[in-house]
Amino acid sequence: MKRREGARVEAQALTRRFGPNTALDRLSLTIEPGETLGLLGANGAGKTTFIRLVTGYLVPSEGTVTVDGFSPVTHPEAVHARLGYVAETSRLYPDLRVASFLRFAGSVHGLSGARLEEALEAGIERFSLRGVAHRLVGNLSKGFQQRVSLAQAFLHDPSLLIVDEPTSGLDPLQQDEVDAVLAGLRGERTVILCTHDLGEARALASRVAVLRAGRLVAVGPTDEVLGGPDPLALFRASGAAA
């Protein structure tokens, strides 16, 4: 059964330090259920740190982040049950066939028996993997590998999907295919789309948040934030973001 609302993500004064360096600085941001938020920023801006705090991979130095009111620090199982994650570098097993890999991924998410087989069939259908279901993952094009990565994140019907640089390294046709898949999720899940591609953000995100030097420097409807004469100015270092 499809979810239609998605999860609510809320960060309050979220801060993460690594020794003397502050990677994320008092970020406060709410992502509403069913929203696709584009998380933008140059390398080192704090995007990956934010994602790792939401997933529970990192613990905040200060502040809080919750998914549907659950902290990934104190209630990791509740957060992980709601979360699907697609990493920038696909974490796949190249020597497994697609269906076998997805079956394994579903079992990791706690699925078994008829529920696992139903989720497997739904994932293969949704992400157009029927024609490659019995091929080795390592023999697939990068575009199909990214579809497999999306499918594994989706098997347990998460209400929150985090997608990190989904089209990095893909050719234009593969990028278009993956973007079409992501566009098809609009309104069904809360999606955090971490991307360097402003065109991709414009096409997929209803709202964007821009990080610079660990701080939130802009947030709002995509057309408003990226609609100025020089949207790249948001990403450039300045004294205001020091």
- Phi/psi of residue 144, each to 5°? -70, -35
How far, CA to CA in Å, does 229 sit from each of 37, 76, 219, 226, 234?
Answer: 22, 43, 17, 9, 11
Q: What is the pTM of this model?
A: 0.88
Residue 3 has pLDDT above 60, yes or no: no
Q: Determine the pLDDT at residue 48.
A: 92
Q: Determine the pLDDT at residue 148.
A: 92
- Give the position of tokens 């190249």: 94
Do residues 214 and 46 lie in contact, with contact meaning Cβ atoms separated by under 8 Å? yes
Do residues 72 and 64 lie in contact, with contact meaning Cβ atoms separated by under 8 Å? no
**Torsion, Cα of 36, 39, 40, 43 (10° steps):** -140
Residue 7 has pLDDT above 70, yes or no: yes
Q: What digits encode the pLDDT tens for the residues 165-206? A: 887 777 888 788 878 888 877 778 899 999 888 988 999 999
Other beta carbons within 10 Å of 58: 19
- All structural domains of the chain, each given as residue ranges with its CATH number in brackets, are 9-91+159-237 (3.40.50.300)
Cβ-in-10-Å burial (0-12, 13-18, 19+) of 236 comes to: exposed
Q: Determine the pLDDT at residue 117.
A: 95
Residue 242 has pLDDT above 70, yes or no: no
Sorting pLDDT into bands at 50, 70 and 90, what band is 240? very low
